[in-house]
Structure 1
């Protein structure tokens, strides 16, 4: 394999992609836009960085063994709030530190550790904090300067803080009190918890539709709330005046899912449009209905924000080119130091007829003609989708001579509400039907070697990997499952409360209420049918796919002498440490090489 000189001597291209310094889209303080906060892996671990744009100075704000990515600036830019958990378990408290540096301190006294459920910070120092625990469900607290936290909301079902109005008098909440964790309703309350307005699209129809908070208008006294809705079978924005109840439908003539945020003066909307694994940006003028495209390269915009001067900053990448923070007023806004990540090969779009409709897949392949050993890299979520965006993992497989196929199965976002909602009750089995249809295409087209098909994925993708190895044992030569659901019943009882609510929605109840559905959708049910070698990696502090249910599955593999390897690491649902992530990919590459006779990582 070709080697090039990297950051420390001769480093394989695939490792260079992981080690190359990256930055996320900077968040900026609403009333001090020269003060920004961003995430970077410059030290080898993803941490938060403060950036004073006026002086050009940057400093690392957090420094923890397992990394930190959840942080926000106060509107005045004086404080950085960041979430402190324990070794990736996502259970903890909000901390804060001065923007220009200083000691960390608990941001709020009197609140016990919890899972986060939204945060909104006001201009007068008021904080609205959403919390989730197994004991209490979701609670929301209002914390005024110098006062103890006041609980204003509590419910067993999942909920979260959406936004705080510009003048700090109204709070928008998303909730699922109706019991469907996939489709939220909205409630706007005052700081004392008294209700101002309700918006619920789950009532009065044969189908439940979801709503999401996109943000209050950034003007004092303006009671307009930007809302995402699904009334026409996809995500679209509308404006809801919570005082008058008036709803203004934008009816944007764009295919696919559409989201939006306000320009800083409230005069226009920045539209984010996602369609068929690509995305683009538009400016919308509510007063005139004019829609103007914001020029971005072909690929994926992972985040965007409009600045006070009217410029739009956005995080962009494609499968072939690594991410950059760009602006409509400058080619690159924030350029991390050090060597740049090598590019990869572009994706090819494939559409395959499946049992539930046309399935979109993204394909990357190495040079030469097939058939190739082929990795089906299955995305997590399940409410997510693969896109034409840079990903170091798939690129590593291509470097080693594999084709990579990523399938946006039923349950994926970006293809309409019916496609996303199709999973209910036959969870896992529906997605695998779509993956099987694309697998058949890959073999019939000559792309994939039928004797060297790898099923791989993390989180929900890891779950589908284990389920697929057991329900389709003749189809796969190898399985690679990272942080998977392996024993659905035990996973339900051990996982964080918000995910329990999602599982009740997907499967129609608890394991005690619908045991047959949990059994049909659990990889443990089919573990004795697994014939392919399987590699499992798991974080011992994972609150989403907890370790005990993985150990139950592994014990069954051990009992029957199945070929497998397990790698456990001291983190949560994945790792924010670059070298740890490289180690995991290296283990998977070597496992595949040993069992498929394909190139490994030695000397690559």
Structure 2
């Protein structure tokens, strides 16, 4: 057993793992260090001013970019990084969420776009978890907050006025959007108690009700809605929403003032989301299908989709897209083999990262495997040479998320060390329809492991994977599934590597942030006291005595999502048994935004696997 503890300077350390001085930096490290850029967000009333995220200094921070002059300025500089930020519609202010070393509990601060001192953005609001933010063009702002003692609140602050609370409820809720003329506010809420499926309420800025749209009752029980934005035109009260009425995410336009609503028929096979073009004449549609995505422009004739025109993107994944006022589209694209780049539909590169481009990696192979709940989609990458290979099952978090054909440095690092990499979009993943996403409820963890086991069997039977050298690995929900899988399926896995996991589900529930408590009550049908057997069946600590594989665990000391106490409970049980394990604790939240820390953690994970795999 090895216990790694945090250093005094705030970053975890372990002398045995410090990198030796080398003359050639390996490709897997270069992929982490290569500067990355997010899709720039532009100010709605000053589109020449933009905000983006980059790791150019070695830590992910916010940057201001003036497109007219070409100047870029680092706006935030904190030891553990900053990624939660936005730009005001007039382009005058950069807003960023100031938490404490990744604990996600804090307040909004702001600074002038051109630079200057930071200040509290909305005076009078105590620290809380963020529940969304929306700006009006007249300077009005709606701020969503969540705290353990109150639940969800929303405050409206008009220029020169103190913030006024206009919404409060124990269940989770968040700010959706403000109308273009700042008269209406859309709120996503789960007052019905189902945190997986939101209803939408539109109110005036004094909190009085305009209209409610709820797909969680009656014939549409357990269907969700998502706010995508008000029409960008003064006096136009139409609201674009995502809905699940036909088994997948599709679009509808709802006018809460008149009550009119129309589903937008879109002949695309996958799930869709969208945003308005700047003049309201059409929608920019993001189409997600079988772990890849593409872009389309949909012209609008009133509330009816007219002609669909594809916006050309290479095969792979679009991680974000936005329609500029001139009608062009900017998007962030990558594939598993090719690093991300920010491009325009005009063919131009929007923004070049400073410094080296990340080395390419290996393309993915699509695999469909028969599972107990239907066909399971997996993405497979093979290293050089002949199999069977040592294989890492890199399990995604969420669970409402999915792996895609997109660039990621950590899987590429395993490939460079001779591992095949398998990523499974198990039941619970998004992107494959509502039924697939909702299938895990009440048997959470166990459902996903059935699908992962089916893909494992295929990998072994086809000669891809060596059954004696299988690593189960993941972060967050993937870390949870790793620890659960090591106990529920001990004969299937040789080594386990879990980052920021849920390990003791009951203790995690009592310590985690409020929004996740609501989600867990939905997933498991109630609190641990109301549904003790379900919680026991889905908790990794229930099966800790069955674990035979060596276990590596990393944990953030300030993590509000997978808190440290419940991980220590699991580790204590491993210690009592004398089980082979290592634990690494670091001074951050739910993962690190520091590049060298990410490299260090990846190195330690791979070294642990190589140390304990036969051969």
TM-score normalised over the length of structure 1? 0.97
1:544 is aligned, of 540, 556, 561, to 561
| In structure 1, C-alpha distance between the alignment counterparts of 2:415 and 2:319, rounded to whole Å | 23
Q: Superposed, which structure 2 residues align to 1:147-162 within 5 Å?
A: 147-162=161-176
For the pair 1:576 / 2:576, whether they are aligned, the reply is no
Which residue number in structure 1 is paired with residue 93 of structure 2?
79
Provide the C-alpha distance between the structure 1 equivalents of 2:220 and 2:560, rounded to a whole number of angstroms. 34
Q: Which residue of 1 aligns with 2:316?
A: 299
* CA deviation map 1:392-430 (0-9, x unaligned): 010000000000000000000000000000011001000
| Match in the other structure for 1:496 | 513
Q: 1:444 maps to what in 2?
A: 461
* Aligned residue number for residue 177 of structure 2: 163
Within-5 A mapping of 1:235-274: 235-274=249-288
* Aligned positions of 1:135-154 closer than 5 A: 135-154=149-168
Aligned-partner SS, 1:583: helix
Is 1:285 aligned to residue 299 of structure 2?
A: yes
TM-score, structure 2 normalization: 0.95
Asked if 1:566 corresponds to 2:597, the answer is no
What pairs with 1:461-476 in structure 2 (closer than 5 Å)? 461-476=478-493
> How many angstroms does 1:9 deviate by?
5.2
Moved over 6 A (4+): none
Q: Which runs of 5+ in 1 are unaligned?
A: 1-7, 599-604
Pick closer, same or farther for the CA change 1:342–1:182 going to 2, 3 Å. Answer: same
Deviation readout 1:331-365 (Å, 9 max, x if unpaired): 31110110110000000000000000000000001
Tell me the equivalent position of 1:193: 207
Q: Number of matched residues?
A: 591
Q: Which residue of 2 aligns with 1:40?
A: 54
- CA-CA distance at 1:289 after TM superposition: 1.2
Q: For 2:259 and 2:28, how far apart are their aligned partners in 1?
A: 54
CA contact (8 A) 2:94 2:113 kept: yes
The residue aligned with 1:602 is none
1:110 maps to 124
Quote how far apart the aligned CAs of 1:45 are.
Answer: 0.2
After superposition, the C-alpha distances for 1:229-270 in whole angstroms (9 at most, x for unaligned) are: 000000011111111111121110111110010000100100
Aligned to 2:404: 387
The CA RMSD over aligned residues, in Å, is: 0.8
Match of 2:574 in 1: 557
Alignment of 1:340-489 (within 5 A): 340-489=357-506
Which among 25, 41, 56 is matched to residue 27 of structure 1?
Answer: 41
Q: Which runs of 5+ in 2 are unaligned?
A: 1-21
Which residue does the alignment assign to 2:83? 69
SS at match of 2:439: helix
Does the aligned pair in 1 maintain the 2:35–2:56 contact within 8 Å? Answer: yes
Give the aligned partner of residue 594 of structure 1.
611
Partner residue, 2:65: 51
For residue 585 of structure 1, the aligned residue among 581, 587, 602 is 602
- Do the aligned partners of 2:42 and 2:49 also contact (CA within 8 Å) in 1? yes
CA distance, structure 2, for counterparts of residue 207 and residue 256 of structure 1: 22
- 1:4 match: none
SS at match of 1:467: helix
Whether contact under 8 Å (2:220, 2:245) holds in the other structure is no
Shift of residue 204, structure 1, vs aligned partner: 1.1
* Of 207, 212, 232, the match for 2:226: 212
Q: Determine if the alignment matches structure 1 residue 226 to structure 2 residue 243.
A: no
Q: CA deviation at 1:207?
A: 3.4
Measured in 1, the distance between the counterparts of 2:53 and 2:607 equals 31
Matched, 1:514 2:527: no
Change (3 A) 1:206 1:31: closer
SS at match of 1:48: strand
Q: Is the 8 A contact 2:203 2:209 kept in 1?
A: yes
Post-superposition offset of 1:330: 3.4
Residues 52-90 of structure 1: CA distance to partner in whole angstroms, max 9, x if unpaired? 000000000000000000111111000011000000000
